[in-house]
Chain A
Amino acid sequence: MKKIIISSVLFLGLVSAGLVGCQKGNLLSNPNAASTSSTVPVSLIFNRLVNEIYYGGGVMDAVGINSNSSSGPAQNEGPWSEVHRWNQFYISLYSYYFGSNTYNWSNTATMYSVLKYVNLMEQQVPAQFGTTANPYSALAYFFKAYQFIWYTQRVGDIPMAQAGVSTITTPTYNLQHDVYKNCLALLDTANTLMAALVASPTGGPTATVTGDIYGLTYLQWQKVINTYKLRVLISLSRRAQDNPDLNIPTQFANIINNPTQYPIMAGITDNLAFKYNSVYNKYPISPNYSPYDFYESMCDTYLNITTANQDPRTFIAATPAPAQITGGKSVSDFTAYVGADINLGQSALLVNATNGMYSYANYLRYFADATGATEEPAIIIGYPEMCFNIAEAANLGWISGSLASTWYTNGIMGSMAMYGLTDGKVIPIGDNKGHSLGSVTASVSTFLANSNVVYAGNNATGLNQILTQKYVAFWQNSGWEAYYNWRRTGVPTMGQGGAGIGTANNAIPVRWEYPEDEQVANTTNWQSAVSSQFGGTDAITSTMWLTK
């Protein structure tokens, strides 16, 4: 009996001891992740940051999950994204696969995630560097400015001073004017700090920033900062005269006139551009997207410009419209390239496309390869745009007017260089499944000699030419810039007024509504921002300070 008792007790004791038993150590923290107090190499945080600006606000954190829908707040800004439909480069024929073409916008996403990673990076820097003399500290200023401007140009006033302050859960709003003013100062600081690093580069002049995916040297980053500043300054053109405190033309001229203090991009190799590769970061459309190539067409806003100017970039972007080829036109005939009118409804667009009326995207360039071998990298901030920004400033008289024509041509040639376009370059032409239709020989000089293209001087026509060529150079790159430039200048004439636009008045919206989370969780501050700017209506048709 005793034996049994003892063995039973022993058995139970063993059972409980032999199992998991009492757990030791820290059970509160997540063993699968690093905590805030851990040492996290700054380069890893920087890596996240540089990716953020390629994808666009809210995309990496999946704000508004349904990115395939025009109503989702977060939009990928890469090539062939919905953004480039709103830029009127191409259109969707079929909602199920490519979404609708409508500008049915509502709440915006934000890019405050970038501010979060900047703050985290700045927390880690002292422990790992002990000094701010490192590219991470310098570039932190650039990323801060980039994300505030990304957001303010979409809505108006935004929280800046109190944004991302850990103790503040309802940040107050700053005037859009002040946001720009402060961001321009941030960019100046970024330039100054980078200049010090460029002057005595620890790893030599070709050293890159660890964690950077763009592969830029310190000097190239400094150029990105100043080139970006030119974009910001020109984007304020409507406010240049009535806000003397911002010194917009002066600041612009300072950069152009002091190239040593403010180095800017010298060519497309200085582009801040996302490069695709064969395994990890494939080009967004690839052979496995080929089944969808039936359901998108070129938009006429883009193709009407390039075909009228005999622009060889026509052959880069598009395939000839099938009906034009079966109707007997040659593949080198610009009139064989026809875009679709975004004002039409998708039913009509699909019928027309089925009848072969529209050009498709260039399959051989964009669909047939996934590796980035045939496609151009995706520019985020690029040299061609910078040239047109300078040309525009010259046209407006901010800087010496004689520079306009030079920079206009530089911009065009920079864009041509992106596609390797030179006189005599043979471009294969295929249909939308890649079957060869022949080839064309590009003539850049014919294009440059076209009367539409020859710079008309520092007048309204010249300005229109600059802006038109800037738009063409934005083909599938630089995110929302094509739209923002149109919003600011009205160039080019974008399609609107038809039911395909899908807004209440079928006009293209001029802003976004504030994010839902600001409305719900920062109600008082949001309300006062909306009432002071828009008389209380947070609408996509309201005009903000920037675009007044």
Chain B
Amino acid sequence: MPTAALLLLLLGLMFAGSPAFAQTRTVIGRVTSGGVGISGVSVQIKGTNKAVLTDADGNYKLAVDADDAVLVFSSIGYAPQEFPANHPNLNVSMVESDRILSEVVVTALGIKREAKRIGYSIQEVKGAELVKARDPNVFNQLEGKVAGLDIGTSPEMYGRPNIVLRGNKDVLIVVDGVPISSDTWNVNADDIESVNVLKGPNAAALYGFRGQNGAIIVTTKMGSRSSKGWEVDFNSSNMVQNGFTVIPKDQYQFGRGSSYAYQYTAGLLAGETLYDYGQRLAIWGPRTDGQLVTQYNSPYNATTGTWTPTPYLTKGTNNLAHFLQPGLLSTDNVSLSTSGSNYDIRISYSHTYQKGQAPSTKINMDNLNLAADYAISPKLKVDANLNLNEQYTPNIPDADYGPNSYVYMFNVYGPGDYDVRDLKDYYKGPQGIPGLNQYNENYGRSNNPYFMAHEWLRGKTKTDIYGFARLTYNFSKDLSLAFRSQITTWNQLLTEKVPAGTILNQYLSWYYPGWYGDYREDRRTLTENNTDLLLTYKKTLGGFFLNTNVGASERSFEYTSTYATTKDLAIPGVYSLTNSQNPALVYNFDSRMQVYSGYYAVDLSYKNYVYLSTTGRVDNLSTLPSNSNTFFYPSVSLATSVGDYIHLPASVDLLKFRVSFADVKGGLTRAQQGSAYYALTGNTLNGGLLGYGFEQYTAYDGPTYQNQSAYSLTTYYNNETSVSYSTTKSDPSLKPFDVKSYEAGLEYQMFKGRAGLNLTYYESLNGPLIYALPVPSSTTYSTQLVNAVTSLKKGWEAILNLTPVRSRNFAWNILLNLSTYRETLHKIGNGQSSIEIGSGSNGTHVFKDGDRLDAFYSTAFVRDGSGNIVYSNGGPLGAPSGISNYKLLGYLDPKYSFGINNRLTYKNWSLSFQFDGRVGGKIYDDVWYHAMNGGTAIESDQGALGVARNTEWESTAQGTKAPTPAYTGKGVVITGGTPTYSGGQITNLKSVAFAANTTPTTVQSYLSSSLGSNFDEYYMISRTFAKLREVRLTYNFTQKMLGKKSVFKEASIALIGRNLLYFAQRKDFDIDQYASGFDIQSQSLYGSGGGQTGTSSDVTLSSSTSRWYGVNFNLGF
């Protein structure tokens, strides 16, 4: 373990030359944590310099001379403990002190530094925390573990979690000092030694503009010393995925249809007797009273083409449960490591297999990590690391709004009038024709779920490699030079096979009922090389200590992508791009970039009083105009640990103050990139080309070419070549963006690490950004790219650790993370006093300097003076449209995020559980909206709506005539006067007369047309949620139990669970995925929300996270 090795070195240096003492007796023992022996623990006789370190198995042996000697046990990451040496055998159980007490942390450039010397905010998570209660993606597991870091857990297979650090979505990931371009799936938890989160640009200035929002620094394991030569570790997690954390509640009384009428045959088009293509029906059909209705599985006479109606009954109250199967997540890792006097080697291989809950979905992942270092001579060292990650799946489900999504099919547009098990044979007759048409319960809206699972396949193959090789030459003890070359490269192929007979409705312009399907390929390749040279010089002179790093690097980036789709297959079932009836559509997007950088980092300290760090970096960036593409930005930080020079009460372990400032510049790159079609046109595949499915974004960090007014090729009419010219006006004098961050912190620890508080306050001035500022359309452009718009973000983070109980056998540790921030519009600049931010025609607002940027303005109910909803024509009255009539519906950012980790250790048992969540803010519940619109939501058949719905059904004579409207909205109507409006509300209430609303409307028209999507206010819910995220109950086998002669060095077994409980105002969609509300810098990242997330135009029908249960085995040889 590198940290242990470092400590050993430090201690070795400290105690070199200590005089020998007379030895009177020997104390031996084993130091463990949760039953596992820990190496490198310092066992020191209090008040002396005499100390030893535990060996690889945690054993120590120490000669003690004084009778009243007290032994101090200390190690990085553990609370120091003291025990009287009054027994020849003293076994000690160490308690992890959690991140706050870590003494050495990994900072930018992979430099390990003493925590108390650091002048900015950094927080560590141990790799051991991440290997048991597994999520397929290790980054999902960081949620709640670091103050200020919010992970929007992605429940989708190979879905990229939304990593949000202090509200910023674009966060750099660095592995062993190497920035990687990662979709987060290629980092294997078993290889992680530690994760250090550098929370702001203060920490990451040295990574350049990529580190403008901080960085997640992953340090991987290295070879460890073992008496047995090679140390072998085996870790296996097997978990069962059973059920979603949240499932919308549906009504099952009413079936598919409209206006309480339904006959399968009503949708048969002229000349057709089999397929009900002519009806696109939500769940507004008849009540399942057993009346005779022609249904999809009613007897059909092929000779006469006639159908015989059958009783209409509720048959599928459990369709989702019947369709799903338990998922499985199996992660196995075996690692071999060894080290000698001049080498360290570690080889690690992992296999991850996940079987999805939907049939025919699975993912596979292989990960091979090789790390080695070798001291060629005392002065020359070479080290290298290579990580190979292979992801492959024949099919992963798609989750979005549309006929390709199970959420859509079962949860929001799924009736209970059919039994999904009847659809298992998806080519069953009379409708089904193998390879050509499916057997389904409807032909206007969605597909047979089994047909989708087994025939509509979305494959993915990705090879992801990163690694480096480094040569370090130590000229002297003080001076060294390192030359490193690093590569991160991946290539990815996404394929989609759309089978013949897939129901798409109007979504694809060339779709027609009974079509032959499609095939598409999305290929992306990224190659990036960083080559750098780093000169390090250390010097101690008097009380001064100087550590200087001077470096230069070259970053070279190349990206190519292609997106191609057929346009209606010529031969069904042959998934080839050439097999297209109409010419296939092909798009390609390539980009290249080069960054030359020079940087320095100087740490200067005077005795123990004060630690000053300063960094500076010059970048030459190829994406910016030549007159402004070379720029400099600095950072400086100051830390002081008061206890080192002022006498503090004995109970105080540490009192540290820190302040820092950092500046980052950069420009015209984006963190993520979509398909080639998206990259070329700015339109998403679902929005622009296909009308369904989701745009897949991959890590990019390359050029946007946003400042290049250019013609792109396209076609509008009859496949004739045409051009489209930028709507953004370029600016040849554009300068880099500028982000400044100020931070101050306090660290306070007392009672020997039993209580600690780490507080951080920060302010960041994000801007002037490179911003596409609206220009009047009379300029013939929509926006102009300028240096404008600065937001001010202010935030707090607190980390509290407590150890209420600590005894030899029992310990209880609590770690609490809290964070909050607010972002306001600081200054627009460029002579403008207001800007419009938002998305499309719903939810947009003109913001002025000083406004909170996460304010969400959209459509609201018009109310009279007493707060009653104003109705018109039976439905809520809509205020005049337009931006000035949107009302503030709430703030999108959570008020604060929290995570509470508890760890209870009793002898060999340990129980950990984490409870985390976010409090405050508002979010749009799209699942609820669609379920209400579709007549599926249980609320559409409850209360006054439920009474009216049943009354209306009774009035239709079994669905043979139109219902008599029976729902009268509670509110008022305008009976006199002409209202005038502002902010969506009547401004002349006094001159408008109101009376109670008496106009009834049908429940269907009320929910689908009147309320519809016209009043976002109705579907805004509290963003507050909390999750019991993970629970681990571990039993560690002691060496004694394993037996002296056992081949096993250590062994443990753990029962684990994830996402066990979910608390929220409404439990129909998982708020967890929406980690933040607004971030000015995220505007160009992805999505259509204009930086806002959680609005009606942003939230969509994704899957919920699942509950996982399982068991973990860990074996060490």
Name A residues whose Cβ lies closer than 8 Å to a Cβ of B: 1, 4-5, 8-9, 11-12, 15-16, 19-23, 27-36, 38, 40, 44-45, 47-48, 51, 60-66, 69-73, 94-97, 100, 102, 104-107, 110, 112-113, 115-117, 119-120, 158-159, 162-164, 168-171, 211, 213, 277, 279-282, 286-294, 344-348, 350-352, 354-355, 364, 368, 370, 430, 433-436, 499-500, 502-505, 513, 515-518, 520-523, 525, 540
Contact = CB atoms under 8 A, between A and B. Distances in A.
10 contacts: A12-B483, A12-B484, A28-B626, A35-B710, A70-B881, A100-B1014, A287-B512, A345-B874, A354-B259, A520-B774
B531 A286 contact: no
A364 B271 CA distance: 12
A513 B724 CA distance: 28
Contacts of A500: 873
A346 B1010 contact: yes
Interface string B62-83: 0000000000000000000000
Interface in B969-983: 978-981
What are the 7 closest A-B residue pairs judged by CB atoms, nearest first? A106-B882, A345-B873, A291-B280, A434-B270, A71-B881, A347-B1005, A354-B962
Contacts of B709: 35-36
B962 A94 contact: no
Contacts of A30: 703, 705, 708, 710
Given A45-B723, A106-B882, A28 B1005 contact: no
A113 B777 CA distance: 8
A70 B509 CA distance: 22
Interface stretch (B9-17, B215-223, B261-269, B897-905): B261-269
Q: A36, A164, A290: which has the most chain B beta carbons within 10 Å? A: A290
B782 interface: yes
B1009 A16 contact: no
Given A47-B720, A96-B1012, 16 more contacts: A15-B487, A19-B487, A22-B556, A32-B588, A33-B711, A33-B712, A36-B709, A38-B711, A65-B839, A107-B882, A115-B780, A279-B582, A345-B1001, A351-B963, A433-B270, A499-B872
B471 A40 contact: no
B832 A520 contact: yes
B1002 interface: yes
B933 interface: yes
Nearest to B873: A345
Given A36-B709, A288-B505, A291-B277, A48 B556 contact: no
B27 interface: no
B725 interface: yes
B1099 to A, nearest CB: 15
Given A20-B529, A354-B261, A522-B778, A51 B270 contact: no
Q: Is chain A's binding surface mostly helix, strand, loop or mixed? A: loop
B779 A171 contact: yes
Contacts of A120: 725
Contacts of A515: 776-777
Contacts, number: 363
Interface stretch (B114-122, B362-370, B374-382): B374-382
B469 A352 contact: no
B954 interface: no
A28 B592 CA distance: 9
Interface in B521-536: 527-529, 531
A430 to B, nearest CB: 7
B775 A12 contact: no
Contact of A23 (B593, B883, B981): B593
Given A23-B622, A434-B270, A47 B722 contact: yes
B842 A66 contact: yes
A525 B705 CA distance: 32
B978 A281 contact: no
Nearest to A515: B777
Nearest to A13: B485
Contacts of B444: 291
B846 interface: yes
Contact of A95 (B445, B591, B723, B1012): B1012
B48 interface: no
A97 B281 CA distance: 11
Interface of B: 258-259, 261, 266-271, 277-281, 376-377, 380, 382, 444-445, 469-471, 483-485, 487, 504-506, 509-513, 527-529, 531, 554, 556-558, 567, 582, 588-594, 622-626, 679-680, 683, 703, 705, 708-713, 715-725, 727, 773-782, 784, 832-836, 839-842, 846, 872-875, 878, 880-883, 885, 933, 961-965, 978-981, 1001-1002, 1004-1006, 1008-1010, 1012-1014, 1088, 1097
Given A69-B841, A169-B784, A521 B717 contact: no
A281 B717 contact: yes
A168 B881 contact: no
Contact of A64 (B277, B713, B841): B841
Contacts of A11: 469
Given A20-B557, A70-B881, A351-B962, A95 B278 contact: no
A288 B590 contact: no
B710 A518 contact: no
Nearest to A344: B873
Nearest to B730: A36
Given A22-B554, A277-B718, A505-B978, A66 B840 contact: yes
A370 B776 contact: no
A33 B587 CA distance: 12
Given A350-B1005, A434-B270, A163 B779 contact: yes
Contacts of B1002: 347, 350-351
A145 B384 CA distance: 68
Given A51-B716, A69-B841, A287 B258 contact: no
Contacts of B723: 34, 40, 44-45, 47-48
Contacts of A522: 776, 778
Nearest to A345: B873
A12 B874 CA distance: 76
Given A20-B556, A106-B882, A522-B778, A95 B1009 contact: yes
Contacts of A211: 720, 722
Contacts of A294: 258, 279
A51 B727 CA distance: 17
A525 to B, nearest CB: 8
Nearest to A109: B777
A370 B512 CA distance: 9
Contacts of B509: 282
B527 A20 contact: yes
A12 B269 contact: no
A5 B1001 contact: no
A105 B879 CA distance: 11
B622 to A, nearest CB: 4
A38 B506 CA distance: 38
A289 B504 CA distance: 11
